Amino acid sequence: MILPIRAYGDPVLKKVAADIEPGHPGLEKLIADMFETMYEASGVGLAAPQVGQSVRLFIVDASPFAEDEDGKPTKDAHLKDFKRIFINPYIVEEEGEEWPFEEGCLSIPNIREEVIRQPKIVMQYQDENFEEHEETFEGFAARVIQHEHDHLDGVLFLDHLPALRRRLLQGKLRDISRGKTDAKYKMRFPG
Ligand code: NI
């Protein structure tokens, strides 16, 4: 089932999400719905608060970037296996020289801004079976995870921008929260 994506201004996007216990009701369905919702919106990552669930879960799938339309490997062929479910994730370490990358967010359609983050992270997380994992990610994969992980703490990529830049975006953000956007996927607006 495709879920509406909560738009900028929805209070759920500012909340610190709660841990998930094994046996969490409806978890399997929530994960399936989140994948369907993310694919429909052509996103590479989606966090549970973005569909109104304030729990520590996000999903990523950058594997479509690994192949072109003819099924040939692209320059991002290393992303072929980058599909994951992260439950109760924890960034153990962030390292390397900060680099800028233009980020966007399904909750903030049509705004893309350069965000500075470190390029390498070590993550501890549980998968959908609550098996523990520790894994290192770099580059684009690390970037997607850092962005999604922020959502679980009520942080948006906008919060990383310089104050002046944020101020310049205020009008556009107000429009989004009032439903003035031409996003091609289902959204829910706070107003
Ligand atoms: Ni986002």
Please give the residue range of the domain that contains residue 63.
5-188
Q: How far is the CA of 155 from the centre of ligand 1 (A)?
A: 9
Annotation says 148 is catalytic? yes
Tens digits of per-residue pLDDT, 113-172?
999 999 999 999 999 999 999 999 999 999 999 999 999 999 999 999 999 999 999 999
The reported pTM is 0.94
What is the C-alpha to C-alpha distance for residues 61 and 130, in angstroms, rounded to an integer?
19
Could you tell me where the DSSP H helices lie in the chain?
27-40, 139-152, 163-177
Q: How many domains are contained in the chain?
A: 1
Name which of 8, 10, 1, 53 is nearest 173 in CA terms: 8
Kindly state the DSSP code that residue 130 receives in the 8-state scheme: -
CATH of the domain at 135: 3.90.45.10
* 5 CA from centroid of ligand 1 (Å): 10
At 38-55, the pLDDT tens digits run 999 999 999 999 999 999
Task: Tell me the three state secondary structure of residue 51.
Answer: helix
